Amino acid sequence: QTTLPGAIGLERHQRFMVSEQAVEQASAQSYEQLVSTGRAQGAINADPALLARVRTIANRLIPQVAVFRPDAVNWNWEINVMTTPEVNAWCMAGGKIMVYSGLVDKLHLSDAELAAVLGHEIGHALREHTREKVSNALGTQLLLAGVAAATNASDNTMQLANVVSQVTFTLPNSREMETEADHIGL
C-alpha cells in the first residue's frame, strides 16, 4: 500500500505488476517530450501571469501531499502551462503537472476552483493510478495471451475478448479512480 488513508480513510488495496520507478521514469520522459514539443511551438508557459498563478496554487498544494504520501513531498515536481483551447489538466506519476490554458480561460476558474482541479489531478499521481492502469493492462494482456495459447483462439476472438475485458474491468476501475482522486483533491 503506497498511499496512506489520510483524512478520508482511503483503504482500497492496489496490485501492481510494474515498479513505481519504471512508471515515474516513463512519465518523466513523456512529460519532457511534450514540454519540448510545446516549447518549440511556443505553447509552453507563453502566458507568464497564468504560469505564475498555476505554480503559486500548485506550490501551496504540494506540501499537503504528505497526508497521503510523505515521500511525494520530495518528488521532482514540475508545473507548466500549455497554451491550447482544450479544457484539461493532469499530473503524471512523480509530480509532472500540466494545465491547459483553455481550462482557466473557458471556465473562468477562481483560484479555489483551479486548486480543486489541481488537487484532483495530484490525487491521481499520489494514488498511482497510472501505475495501476498499466499493471491492469499488462495483466489482461498476459491473461489473454495465455487463453489464446491454450485454446488456439483466432485473432478476432481475442480482440473481442480484449474489448469485453476492458468494459468489464477497466471502466469500473476508472470510475473508482476518479472518485478517489476527487476525495483526495478535495
Annotated catalytic residues are 121
3-state per-residue secondary structure call for the chain: CCCCCHHHCCCCCCCCCCCHHHHHHHHHHHHHHHHHHHHHCCCECCCHHHHHHHHHHHHHHHHHHHHCCHHHHHCCCEEEEECCCCCCEEEECCCEEEEEHHHHHHHCCCHHHHHHHHHHHHHHHHCCHHHHHHHHHHHHHHHHHHHHHHHCCCHHHHHHHHHHHHHHHHHHHHHHHHHHHHHHHC
